[in-house]
A and B are shown apart, each in its own frame.
Chain A
């Protein structure tokens, strides 16, 4: 038994669910996707993963090599798509000790801006909350 046969990005899981027929419309009932898998699908559709493709991810990981980032950090960046130094700061571990200065951080952000598409706009939940809780109770 291999506990870790490989980490996958959020996009790859979304791609897997998509290839099995997951979608947002009424064909949900027919596709062979379990309720739990749909919850994962719904979650991932609100993250930057829904705008990415395999090419974009491979391209981005290749170009990240210059910045000497850890694999976990590259994964985090792909999944979260930081848009500012503040967002990036929470992802990088001890940047000053590894020689990642402000210029490098800006370089990374430029790469993110150029290669990774912008995430979907997640609307504020306030008004929709009542509808959603009602649906939750019914199902």
Chain B
């Protein structure tokens, strides 16, 4: 789910931060520049370490020194095929939307929800649709009562790099709300005993 990436960038440290130790000041500027932004390598979550900072030259007409910084950041970059535990956020007729707290653009399109299923208007929330999985004549509702395990199918970066969307699948064994499988595996064990 998370990766370390090494980057090099030219960083301008505003004069009001110069009273702090250099490493702290550079880290503050890097956090403002990179944190919570989706780069081509993923969603930047944290500055891990600053490997080196060179330069410190003040360009003419500017009051702030500029450093060439080599640093390592922690990025959230899932790979296709990874299984991640998420929470239910909302659902509509196109599918579900899941969230990880720090990343909210996980979509499970309708074809990837376990079949047979049906979609009905949610009795608790008029604007939303609720998905229900029908298995062996029992109905399982997909809602926010438990964690949902999903497998990453596709990652897409929109042209304007503000958010990034992921497509997930929950139509395979072991995926979907965790409670389904805990209940199911208990049932299977009973069957084996008899």
Contacts and interface: CB of A to CB of B under 8 A. Distances in A.
Interface in B1-28: 1-8
A7 B79 CA distance: 11
A103 interface: no
A40 B83 contact: no
Contact of B4 (A6, A93, A129): A6
A90 B82 contact: no
Contact of B173 (A7, A12, A80, A90): A90
A34 B35 contact: yes
B147 interface: yes
Nearest to B88: A125
B5 A39 contact: no
A122 B6 CA distance: 35
Interface residues of B, number: 41
B192 to A, nearest CB: 12
B2 A8 contact: yes
Nearest to A42: B101
B181 A87 contact: yes
B87 interface: yes
B45 interface: yes
A1 B6 contact: yes
Given A72-B81, A80-B149, A3 B101 contact: no
Contacts of A124: 145-146
B48 A90 contact: no
Given A40-B46, A76-B83, A126 B145 contact: yes
B172 interface: yes
A123 B79 CA distance: 28
B100 interface: yes
A3 B8 CA distance: 11
A29 B114 CA distance: 43
Contacts of A34: 31, 35, 46
Contacts of A125: 87, 144-146
B59 interface: no
Interface of B: 1-8, 31, 35-36, 41, 45-46, 48, 72, 74, 76, 79, 81-85, 87, 100-102, 144-147, 149, 151, 172-175, 181, 184-185
Given A12-B2, A46-B85, A79-B1, 16 more contacts: A2-B6, A4-B4, A5-B5, A8-B74, A34-B46, A36-B45, A36-B46, A40-B45, A40-B46, A43-B102, A47-B85, A76-B83, A80-B84, A87-B174, A90-B175, A129-B144
Closest 7 CB pairs of A and B: A90-B174, A39-B102, A2-B6, A43-B101, A5-B4, A86-B174, A87-B174
